[in-house]
């Protein structure tokens, strides 16, 4: 097990290096550097002024040398300076990740139980009316991306009913301004988890030990709660963990839609202004989230299901 984790960690580090190198290469392309120079100074700079500014700021040194320098600094915890916010990157990114963490927390808290409930209810009697209608509900929820459902909810709740707010401010969180973003994200992700849970539940309900339980004369309730549920929830665990990377994209959309100034909003700002150091750190954060959740899901899967042995 330990060896498995170590090997995965090594692959993770290689992946991180490759990915940041790609990002580094792309943000340092000639047009992007020019954009940065114009954004940092004034938009009516001459070609020579751009060139001399880039030279002065050290953007003209060899790419690999600068990348090695960045990696060296990042390894010691210095992530550089944000050109957009004119502050060190960790000062910008730290609080933003916190705000997004809060958002993610509430999304998970509402999404996971609802999705599991829908999946279990649909899967315990496969082919029934409940199953069919819940399946359509979960298909509809996966077919509605955040920028669609977010707008529909804003129109419905904020414009017509006037109960919730269409903008949410990072920091000052209450039900009125936080319900819409959470709802928007939770509903898009819910359908997928619910469908996986349903499939897993439906499979478990046909297993031998459920038949035994039924033949023992246990009530349907006891069959489901005591025997089926625990085994049916192993597969959705992986799916839930693998939802995190997808949540990152969702976070960017939802934060832009509701003007919630968290991690996703920062990423968009950094990308719009070609803020090199900030963008590199953003990609580092997202890659770590993606790879870490994959690792946790693999380990957790092996732990939950003793029949699986990691090799």
Positions touching other proteins (CB under 8 A) are 11, 15, 18-19, 23, 26-27, 29-32, 34-35, 135-136, 139-140, 142-145, 147-149, 151-152, 154-155, 158-160, 166, 245, 248-249, 252-253, 256-257, 264, 267-268, 271-272, 279, 282-283, 286-287, 290-291
Task: Please state, in angstroms and rounded to a whole number, the distance separating the CA atoms of residues 157 and 180.
Answer: 8
Residue showing tokens 């890659």: 287
Q: How far is the CB of 252 from other proteins (least distance, A)?
A: 5
Q: Which is nearer to other proteins, 26 or 64 (CB)?
A: 26
- Measured in degrees and rounded to the nearest 5, phi and psi for residue 82 equal -80, 125
Q: How far is the CB of 291 from other proteins (least distance, A)?
A: 6
Q: Which is nearer to other proteins, 5 or 151 (CB)?
A: 151
Q: Which is nearer to other proteins, 7 or 226 (CB)?
A: 7
Q: How far is the CB of 52 from other proteins (least distance, A)?
A: 21
Task: Please state, in angstroms and rounded to a whole number, the distance separating the CA atoms of residues 85 and 42.
Answer: 16
Q: How many CB atoms lie within 10 A of CB 171?
A: 11
Question: What are the contacts of 289-293 at 24+ separation with CB within 8 A?
Answer: 289/244, 289/245, 289/248, 290/244, 290/245, 290/248, 291/12, 291/15, 291/16, 292/12, 293/241, 293/242, 293/244, 293/245
Q: Which is nearer to other proteins, 154 or 238 (CB)?
A: 154
Q: How far is the CB of 173 from other proteins (least distance, A)?
A: 22
Q: Which is nearer to other proteins, 90 or 126 (CB)?
A: 126
Helix (H), strand (E) at residue 199: helix 175-205
Q: How far is CA 129 from CA 20, 123, 196, 209, 229, in A?
A: 50, 11, 19, 25, 21
Q: Which is nearer to other proteins, 109 or 155 (CB)?
A: 155
Q: Give the E-state strand segments of 60-153 in sequence order.
A: 81-82, 87-88
Residue showing tokens 């039900």: 175
Q: How far is the CB of 26 from other proteins (least distance, A)?
A: 4
Q: Which is nearer to other proteins, 158 or 229 (CB)?
A: 158
Greatest extent of the chain over all pairs of C-alpha atoms, in Å: 87
Q: How far is the CB of 105 from other proteins (least distance, A)?
A: 19
Q: First vs last Cα of the chain: how many Å apart?
A: 8
Q: How far is the CB of 100 from other proteins (least distance, A)?
A: 13
């Amino acid at each position: 097990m330990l060896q498995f984790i170590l090997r995965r960690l090594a692959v993770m580090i290689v992946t991180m290096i490759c990915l940041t190198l790609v990002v580094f290469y792309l943000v340092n392309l000639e047009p992007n550097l020019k954009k940065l120079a114009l954004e940092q100074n004034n938009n009516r700079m001459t070609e020579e002024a751009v060139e001399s500014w880039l030279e002065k700021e050290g953007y003209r040194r060899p790419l690999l040398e600068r990348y090695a320098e960045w990696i060296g600094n990042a390894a010691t915890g210095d992530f550089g300076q944000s050109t957009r916010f004119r502050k060190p990157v960790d000062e910008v990114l730290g609080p933003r990740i916190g705000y997004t963490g809060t958002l993610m927390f509430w999304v998970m808290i509402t999404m996971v139980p609802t999705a599991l409930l829908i999946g279990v209810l649909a899967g315990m009697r496969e082919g029934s009316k409940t199953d069919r209608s819940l399946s359509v509900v979960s298909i509809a929820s996966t077919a509605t991306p955040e920028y669609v459902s977010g707008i529909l909810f804003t129109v419905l709740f904020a414009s017509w009913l006037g109960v919730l707010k269409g903008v949410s401010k990072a920091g000052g969180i209450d039900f009125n301004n936080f319900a819409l973003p959470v709802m928007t994200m939770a509903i898009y992700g819910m359908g997928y988890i619910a469908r996986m849970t349903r499939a897993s539940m439906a499979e478990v309900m046909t297993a031998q030990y459920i038949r035994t339980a039924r033949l023992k004369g246990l009530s349907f309730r006891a069959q489901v709660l005591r025997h089926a549920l625990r085994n049916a929830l192993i597969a959705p665990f992986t799916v839930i963990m693998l939802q995190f990377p997808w949540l990152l994209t969702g976070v960017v959309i939802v934060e832009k839609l509701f003007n919630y100034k968290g991690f996703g909003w920062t990423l968009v700002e950094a990308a719009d202004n070609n803020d090199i150091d900030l963008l590199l750190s953003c990609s580092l954060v997202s890659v770590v989230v993606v790879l870490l959740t994959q690792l946790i899901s693999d380990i957790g899967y092996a732990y939950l299901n003793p029949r699986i042995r990691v090799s």
